[in-house]
Amino acid sequence: MNEPITVAGVEVAPGERRDVTPVASESYTGDRTTIPMAVLNGVKDGPRMFVTAALHGDELNGIGVCRELLGRLDPSGLSGILIVVPIVNVLGAQIHSRYLPDRRDLNRTFPGSHGGSMAARIAKLLMEEVVAGSNVGIDLHTAANRRTNVPQMRVHTEDERATELAIAFGAPYVLDATLRPGSLREVAQDLHVPVLTYEGGEALRFDDHAITTATEGVLRTLAHLGMIAEGPPPPAQPPLVMHESRWLRAERGGIIDLHVGMGDRVEEGQPLWTTTSPLGAERATMSSPYTGIVIGGTTLPLVAPGEAILHIGIPGEGWAGYEDDPSAEEDDAEDLEPT
């Protein structure tokens, strides 16, 4: 039999679900800022896993995934402990922003501190109440605003346990990505807690395909860990592991016509997009310098020189790039350099 656990001062008995709302900070008006969490304590002993979403407040698909999971899972049929946090960046979600009101990126603030910034306090609460003591975590993301991602997992494949779980998750692609300083994934690894980063869809939208892929993936992971009796069947095609990726950028500004779609395989030399002026004169056609898979891209039809247009995952051996974070132009160039 399992044992009672305590999360944020609330005891949860075996076979019980308790919803807790620990205080993380306060708003400018003095209102308490709480983070909603659902704690499912299984009847039988087993691993402890967490699922987090909306570390970036405008990345909403993970909220939909958490809602689906909580509607399907019953602690009476669970072995171990599952903690679900559907909205970590509550203040960012309220203003439809990736960032907190002070413009800090929560996923660059871990492990946080009790006496630090608003982001640091939220990060510290999550570390103490959710991450510490867990055996594995799944962190749900989307692409940054004005971009979209094909469903994919991000792990550092040198971590064999994380890679095993990412493949069990069953998203179409697993991208080898080293750890960004201050990210949840980096700091959790220091505690020997592998965290799988899921990317799917775009910001400020519910994407049914991305939500379904992630929901089934979490259930497969739970089944792989022996926490539930059975998960969805594995996908027809096993995930493709890619150790390298590149963002391709516009050389000219104007109106862009993409010649490929998300998830398409492209060959070296294949035309990817054409940029024309507003008056219709052809300006430039970009051909692919790589053979690979389109795993992400812009959703805007208007581009300026240097803007990131398509993210190409490259199968085969290579180096691990930084975890993709194209929310700002100074970030999405860093992914392209070897570490």
Shared domain check, 11 and 133:
yes
Please give the average per-residue pLDDT across 80-85, as a whole number. 98
**CB-CB neighbours of 233 under 10 Å:** 9
Lowest mean pLDDT among 73-82, 201-210, 266-275, 315-324: 315-324
Please give the average per-residue pLDDT across 173-190, as a whole number. 93
Q: In this predicted structure, what is the pLDDT of residue 30?
A: 82
Asked, for residue 127, whether it belongs to a domain, the answer is: yes
Asked, for residue 234, whether it belongs to a domain, the answer is: no
How many domains, in total, are found in the chain? 2
Please give the average per-residue pLDDT across 176-196, as a whole number. 94
Shared domain check, 250 and 211:
no
Look at residue 216 and tell me whether its pLDDT is greater than 70: yes
What does the block give as tokens for 187? 């700091």
CATH of the domain at 255: 2.40.50.100
Shared domain check, 250 and 197:
no
Q: Regarding beta strands 292-298 and 147-155, do their DSSP bridges make them parallel or antiparallel, or are they unpaired?
A: antiparallel
Look at residue 116 and tell me whether its pLDDT is greater than 50: yes
On average, the pLDDT of the chain sits at 92
Q: In this predicted structure, what is the pLDDT of residue 25?
A: 84
Shared domain check, 196 and 69:
yes
Count Cα neighbours of 140 within 13 Å in the Cβ-side half-sphere: 36
CATH of the domain at 23: 3.40.630.10
Asked, for residue 237, whether it belongs to a domain, the answer is: no
Q: In this predicted structure, what is the pLDDT of residue 330?
A: 39
Q: What residue numbers bound the domain in which 177 lies? A: 5-224
Digit-coded pLDDT (tens) for 91-107: 999 999 999 998 999 99
Shared domain check, 313 and 266:
yes
Digit-coded pLDDT (tens) for 119-131: 999 999 999 999 9
Domain end position, chosen among 195, 224, 253 = 224
Shared domain check, 197 and 302:
no
Q: Which residue has the higher pLDDT, 148 or 331?
A: 148
Largest CA distance in the chain: 72
Digit-coded pLDDT (tens) for 232-261: 999 999 999 999 999 999 999 999 999 999
Q: In this predicted structure, what is the pLDDT of residue 283?
A: 85
Q: In this predicted structure, what is the pLDDT of residue 317?
A: 64
Asked, for residue 84, whether it belongs to a domain, the answer is: yes
Q: In this predicted structure, what is the pLDDT of residue 1?
A: 80
Shared domain check, 215 and 66:
yes
Domain end position, chosen among 164, 190, 224 = 224
Asked, for residue 195, whether it belongs to a domain, the answer is: yes
Shared domain check, 269 and 143:
no
Shared domain check, 151 and 293:
no
Q: Regarding beta strands 271-276 and 254-258, do their DSSP bridges make them parallel or antiparallel, or are they unpaired?
A: antiparallel
Look at residue 332 and tell me whether its pLDDT is greater than 90: no
CA angle, corner 166, sides to 163 and 168, nearest 5? 110
Shared domain check, 253 and 181:
no
Look at residue 308 and tell me whether its pLDDT is greater than 80: yes
Asked, for residue 235, whether it belongs to a domain, the answer is: no
Asked, for residue 248, whether it belongs to a domain, the answer is: yes
Confidence of residue 200 (pLDDT cuts 50, 70, 90): very high
Kindly state the percentage of the chain with pLDDT values over 70.
Answer: 93
Domain end position, chosen among 170, 190, 224 = 224
Asked, for residue 232, whether it belongs to a domain, the answer is: no
Shared domain check, 252 and 182:
no
Shared domain check, 281 and 313:
yes
